[in-house]
Amino acid sequence: MDKKYKISFDFDSTLDREDVQEFAKQLVKDGHEIWITTSRFDTESSLKKGWWWIEKNNQQLYEVAEECGIPKENIAFTAMIDKIKFLEGKNFLLHLDDDETELEFIEESDDKCVGVWVELKTWKETCINLIK
C-alpha cells in the first residue's frame, strides 16, 4: 500500500480553481489527509466582531471543501498570520499556494513541508513527484 500524506491547499486563487479541485478530490480518494490552510478569518470569530460579510465569503470555501471531500475540521483559518505558523511541526508533505511570500516563508523554515507554487505549469507534476 502506498504511503499516505498530509497535504495542504490554499483556497483563494488555488483550491477555488477547478483543476486544483479535481486534483484534491483524487488525493482524497487515494486516502491522503487533505487540508485547506487559508489566510481568511473564520466565520465564528468574525461574527463576534460584527464582520457579518465574512460568513458569506466563507460559504464558497465550505462548499468547495465539501465537494472535494475535505472535512470542516481540516480547514485552518490563519487570520492573516503566516501559514507556516500553522503548518510547522504538523508533518505536512506539501502546501500548494499562489502567494510567493507564503511559499518563501515555508521554504525558509526548518519544517519539511515543501511549498509548491500553483502558478507553475508543472505544479501538478511537482506535487505527484513529491507524493511518490
| pLDDT of the residue at 42 | 83
Q: Per-residue pLDDT tens for 37-51?
A: 999 988 677 666 666
DSSP 70: -
Q: In Å, how far from its chain's centre is CA 95?
A: 6
| pLDDT of the residue at 60 | 93
Q: Per-residue pLDDT tens for 55-96?
A: 778 899 999 999 999 999 999 999 999 999 999 999 999 999
pTM for the full model? 0.92
> Strand pairing of 33-38 and 75-77?
parallel
Q: Per-residue pLDDT tens for 7-38?
A: 999 999 999 999 999 999 999 999 999 999 99
> Higher model confidence: residue 43 or residue 98?
98
Write down all domains in the chain, each with its CATH number in brackets. 10-125 (3.40.50)
